[in-house]
């Protein structure tokens, strides 16, 4: 299950990706529009800035904006940033590998083999799930959406 932090990060990123121009958006605006506690959101946006997903501008017209295009930001990247490994078992993770204590032989472990396949399929789907894809799906699901 996604942590609240990851879910809020995705909501904030989608909100920023929907803005007409890539102008800075104030934290208070994102917080109110997405129903995210402002203090919690500040921490999330700082983490996204450190990861070079967002940047910020100070001042009266300041705020946060995407550093990458919505096509370049995917859910796998966001999930790994906030929740760590995507895999269910430590022996099949990409960046956080650990051998399972009870495993006698990784090479012939059927459990590992199944969960390796699950991890690969999940990561593949999450990499395809970009901010652009999320917005496109929302538009298609919205009965009031009429493309130009």
Query: At 59, is the pLDDT very low, low, confident or very high (cuts 50, 70, 90)?
Result: confident
Task: Dig out the tokens for 61 from the structure.
Answer: 């017209």
Domain boundaries, the chain: 4-66, 75-129
How many angstroms separate the CA atoms of 100 and 90, rounded? 7
Angle subtended at Cα 137 by Cα 141 and Cα 126, rounded to the nearest 5 degrees: 140
Average pLDDT over residues 110-124: 92
Q: What is the mean pLDDT of residues 47-71?
A: 92
- Model-wide pTM > 0.85: yes
Model confidence at 3: pLDDT above 70: yes
Query: Regarding beta strands 63-66 and 54-57, do their DSSP bridges make them parallel or antiparallel, or are they unpaired?
Result: antiparallel
CATH architecture classification, 4-66:
Orthogonal Bundle (1.10)
Q: For 4-98, where are the alpha helices, taking DSSP H only? A: 4-17, 27-34, 38-50, 75-83
CA distances for 24 relative to 28, 55, 77, angstroms: 12, 9, 22
């Amino acid at each position: 299950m996604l942590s609240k932090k990851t879910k809020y990060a995705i909501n904030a990123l989608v909100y920023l990706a929907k803005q007409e121009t890539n102008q800075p958006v104030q934290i208070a605006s994102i917080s109110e529009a997405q129903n995210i506690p402002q203090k919690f959101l500040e921490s999330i946006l700082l983490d996204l800035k450190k990861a070079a997903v967002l940047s910020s501008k100070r001042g009266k017209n300041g705020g946060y904006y995407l550093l990458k295009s919505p096509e370049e930001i995917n859910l796998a990247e966001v999930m790994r940033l906030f929740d760590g490994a995507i895999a269910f078992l430590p022996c099949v993770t990409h960046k956080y590998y650990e051998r399972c204590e009870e495993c006698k032989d990784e090479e012939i472990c059927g459990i590992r083999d199944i969960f390796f396949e699950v991890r690969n399929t999940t990561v593949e789907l999450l990499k395809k799930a970009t901010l652009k894809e999320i917005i496109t799906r929302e538009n298609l699901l919205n009965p009031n959406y009429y493309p130009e």
